[in-house]
Structures are given as structure tokens and as C-alpha cells.
């Protein structure tokens, strides 16, 4: 039973790492930051540089700024 659990854990971690890489690639391709929970708050991370960036403006905020 333990061997089966270890295999499932290993496969699950592999799948999570692959999903993380795909998310980074898509975010970089579309020019949007990754959204992560960091130090007890939401953080926006540049997928290429791994540096924290300012929160992007939403379309509603952009419309309000134009008015």
C-alpha cells in the first residue's frame, strides 16, 4: 500500500511542476503577470524575471480613468 501512495505522490508532484511551467509560458506569451499568494497577500509576479510587479489595471479601472 505504501509503495502505491509514494508513486501517486511522485506523479502528482510531476504534474504540478508541469502545470506550473505551462502557466509561466502562457503568462509570458500573453504579457500578463502570474498571480501568487506570497507573504500572506496576493502578489503579481513577472513570469520571465520572477520579480514582483504592480497590480495590473483592470478594464473597469481603465474606463473610469478615461471618463
- Tens of pLDDT, residues 23-66: 999 999 999 999 999 999 999 999 999 999 999 888 777 777 77
3 state DSSP class of 2: helix
Supply the range of the domain harboring residue 48.
2-66
**Per the structure, how many domains does the chain have?**
1
Pairing mode of beta strands 34-38, 52-53: unpaired
Phi, psi for 36 (deg, rounded to 5): -135, 160
* Residue 2 pLDDT grade (very low, low, confident, very high; cuts 50, 70, 90): low
Residue with cell 504579457: 31
Under the banding of pLDDT at 50, 70 and 90, the label for residue 3 is low
Q: For residue 54, what is the enclosing H or E element?
A: none
Which cell numbers hold the place of 9?
505522490
Amino acid at each position: 500500500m505504501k509503495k502505491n501512495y509514494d508513486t501517486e505522490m511522485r506523479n502528482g508532484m510531476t504534474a504540478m511542476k508541469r502545470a506550473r511551467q505551462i502557466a509561466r509560458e502562457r503568462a509570458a506569451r500573453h504579457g500578463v503577470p502570474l498571480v501568487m499568494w506570497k507573504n500572506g497577500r496576493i502578489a503579481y509576479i513577472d513570469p520571465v524575471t520572477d520579480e514582483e510587479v504592480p497590480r495590473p489595471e483592470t478594464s473597469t479601472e481603465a474606463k473610469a480613468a478615461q471618463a
